[in-house]
Every structure is written in structure tokens, then in C-alpha cells.
Amino acid sequence: MSTSDARVRRPRTEGDGRARRGPTMGDVAERAGVSRTTVSFVLNDRADAGIPDETRRRVIDAAAALGYRPNAGARALAARRSDWYGIVTEIVTAPFAVDVIKGAQDRALEQGKFLLIASSESEVATEAAGIEKLLEQRIEGLLYAATWHRAVHVPDIVREVPAVLVNCFDADGSLPAVVPDEVGGGRRATQRLLDAGHTRIGLVTLDPAIPASVGRRQGYEEALDAAGIPVDTSLVVAGDATADGGYSAASELLDRADRPTAIFCGNDRMAMGAYDAIKERGLTIPGDVAVVGFDNQELIAAYLRPRLTTVALPFQEMGARGVDMLAALTAGQSIGTEIVTIDCPLLERSSV
């Protein structure tokens, strides 16, 4: 059997074989009576190719009639440009990681990019495998998002592609990052309590070793300073970031002779515990004690009674900004290792 005999061209007619494949540009070209190149020019809107409207219309009609859908893989191969960004994050263990994804995906779509998501559930192996998979897809850039604001050591593989860290920053300081403005958030929360007339404001802190704790506390102190109120460190107690921790810490504050009239909790979970401590003592919120949380965990903040005034972490904005930085990076702009901070807005509800 000669070579030419062997090369049987499978006809693209209806009633083809089993595995039906979608129409290709060739099919569109044939139907429109033009070459494949022309189809490519029309569908990619290449203005410099001088395709008259009449031809353009024929091509577009043919594509529509056939239900033509471009093959992203083939396009990426030929164009040497995938239009994909990737994001690695712990999606399940962190309910708000989805907000980062949402923000990033929306912004990516605006730019004609598609966001591939790899979930790494804190398992280093899964994470590495996920990133590897993303690189096999030839993503143009990578977003590496953490579930809580901290310094991270990213795996080396991350450095093989333009990357931006979200809600975390590189321990080596060699990668650009987007993080929440914890200080501003802490200041804003405290200011809200000051505005409501409180002067004895308790603070329940998180683990003092983490950036969130440091920043929020700094904001608290800055706000007090600005108001001319001396910081009373006995009003600052440490919790363990859970509802129970908040309960204990709040109890400690409430059982003082000169108990504070307001409590700024390091996060919403602790605020939840603080609520219990306050109610248990027959005190009312915000009448006797006002409460402000941090994180805006919807399920807690919106459903506590009364609804909790809290500071929101700007996850969506961070995701979107991350994509912007990625776009700048891949466009060849050097954005260095800048760390961008995003504002944390105060959400007023009924606990102040």
C-alpha cells in the first residue's frame, strides 16, 4: 500500500464517523467560499487585512450557521499565547478564597483571559502538582493566594512564570504582592467606636505573631493616639482566634470593675464569642457594650443578633488587582517586587 493510498482523508460530511468533532475553520472557509486564512483574519478582527464587509459577513454567517467554536488549545499553540492565567489557592479550607477567585476571574474575563483554578488544600504535594498542571496548560501568569495574610515561602516552581502573591507576601521579598491594609482597617474600626462616643475601648487580639494582629492593633493605637486617648494596655487582651477564645477574652474585659463600653475583636469568630459573654451577663449590644469585628465572615456577621459591624477584607479587590499586576508583568513592564495594599472597608450594621 503506497503512502498516498494510506492517507485517506476522512470526509467531513454529516453522517461522518462515530466521534463527531466540531466544525473547524476549514469548514467555515469552505462554506463561505474563501480560504482558511481569510476566516482567521475575519474572526480575529485583523483590521490590517482589508477584508471588505461583504466577505466578512459571509464568513461570519457561515461560522454562525455551522456553530463554529474556536479550539482554544489549537489557537494557543499557533498563537504562542494562551490567554490563560492560573490561580492556586486553598479553596475548601478557606471560605473566602472564592472571593479572590471571583474578583480575579471577573477582571481576567474583562481582559479576554480565562482563569484556571487549582486548589491546593494546604498539602504541599497537591499544591505542587496543581501548579505543574497549570504550567502544562502554558498559563501566562500565576496568582498565588493564601487563606490568611502572612509571609509565605513559595515553591520554586512558582518562579518559572510571572507570578503575583495575593493575601500574602514572599518571605524572600522577591515577588510582587497584594495584601489587605490591616492598619487602615484597625484604624477605621476603632474610629467608628470613637465616633460613637466610646473612650474605653477593649481590644481582643489575635496571635500577635501574624501580620493581621500586628496591623490591626497598630491601627487601633493610631486611632486612639489621633483622638488623644492614651493606650491602656490592660484593655488589650489576647484571644485564640476562635469563638471560645473571644468568649474568654471578652469575659476578662467585662468582669473588670471599669469594664470597657466597647470591644474591638480581632476577628468575627471572636466577636461571636464576645456576644455570648456579653449576653450572659445580661448586658445589651450595643447599649451597654458596642462590638466591632474584623473579616466580615458573612455567616457570622450578618446573622448574629444584633448584626455585627465589622471590617471587610477586600478579597475580590485583591484578586482583581492581582490580575492587573499580572497583566502588567506579562506585558513586559517591570513592576518589581512592590507590595500593594488594598483598603479594608468598614461595614456598619447594628452592633455599635
Partner DNA sequence: CCTTCTTACTAACTCGCGTTAGGAGGGAAC
Partner DNA sequence: GTTCCCTCCTAACGCGAGTTAGTAAGAAGG
Check binding of 135 to a second copy (CB under 8 A).
Answer: yes
Check binding of 243 to a second copy (CB under 8 A).
Answer: yes
In DSSP notation, 75-120 reads HHHHHT---EEEEEE--SS-TTHHHHHHHHHHHHHHTT-EEEEEE-
d(CA 42, CA 273): 62
Check binding of 305 to a second copy (CB under 8 A).
Answer: yes
Q: Which of 138, 150, 159, 281 binds a second copy (CB under 8 A)?
A: 138
Secondary-structure breakdown of the chain: helix, strand, coil percentages, each rounded to the nearest 5: 45, 20, 40
- Tell me the CB-side half-sphere exposure of residue 85, using CA atoms within 13 A: 32
Q: Which is nearer to a second copy, 106 or 343 (CB)?
A: 106
The count of other CB atoms within 10 Å of the CB of residue 30 is 17
Q: Which of 109, 171, 226, 283 binds a second copy (CB under 8 A)?
A: 109
The interface partner of residue 104, options being DNA, a second copy, none and the CB cut-off 5 to 8 Å by kind, is none
- Sign, CA torsion 223/225/230/236: positive
Cβ atoms 293, 267 nearer than 8 A = yes
Write the single-letter amino acid at 176.
P
d(CA 318, CA 98): 12
d(CA 350, CA 302): 10
Residues that bind DNA (CB under 7 A): 1-3, 6-7, 9-10, 21, 24-26, 33-38, 40-41, 43-44, 46, 49-52, 55, 68-71, 74-75, 77-80
The interface partner of residue 85, options being DNA, a second copy, none and the CB cut-off 5 to 8 Å by kind, is none
Q: Which is nearer to DNA, 77 or 227 (CB)?
A: 77
- Tell me the CB-side half-sphere exposure of residue 278, using CA atoms within 13 A: 27
Give CB contacts under 8 A, 24+ apart, made by 222-225: 222/183, 222/186, 222/187, 223/186, 223/187, 223/188, 223/190, 223/191, 223/194, 224/190, 224/194
Q: Which is nearer to DNA, 21 or 305 (CB)?
A: 21
How many residues of this chain bind a second copy (CB under 8 A)? 47
Q: Which of 272, 278, 326, 327 binds a second copy (CB under 8 A)?
A: 272
Task: Decide: residue 198, CB within 10 A, 0-12 exposed, 13-18 middle, 19+ buried.
Answer: buried
To the nearest whole angstrom, how small is the minimum distance from the Cβ of residue 223 to a second copy?
28
The interface partner of residue 272, options being DNA, a second copy, none and the CB cut-off 5 to 8 Å by kind, is a second copy
The interface partner of residue 227, options being a second copy, DNA, none and the CB cut-off 5 to 8 Å by kind, is none
Q: Which is nearer to a second copy, 234 or 284 (CB)?
A: 284
The interface partner of residue 41, options being a second copy, DNA, none and the CB cut-off 5 to 8 Å by kind, is DNA
Q: Which is nearer to a second copy, 42 or 91 (CB)?
A: 91
Check binding of 74 to a second copy (CB under 8 A).
Answer: yes
d(CA 347, CA 96): 17
Cβ atoms 117, 143 nearer than 8 A = no
To the nearest whole angstrom, how small is the minimum distance from the Cβ of residue 128 to DNA?
19
To the nearest whole angstrom, how small is the minimum distance from the Cβ of residue 33 to a second copy?
25
The count of other CB atoms within 10 Å of the CB of residue 138 is 15
To the nearest whole angstrom, how small is the minimum distance from the Cβ of residue 201 to a second copy?
24
To the nearest whole angstrom, how small is the minimum distance from the Cβ of residue 94 to a second copy?
9
Check binding of 51 to a second copy (CB under 8 A).
Answer: no
Contact set with a second copy (CB under 8 A): 19, 21, 69-74, 76-77, 80, 82, 91-92, 95, 97-99, 101-102, 105, 109, 114, 116-117, 119, 121, 129, 132-133, 135-138, 242-243, 247, 269, 272, 276, 279, 297-300, 303, 305
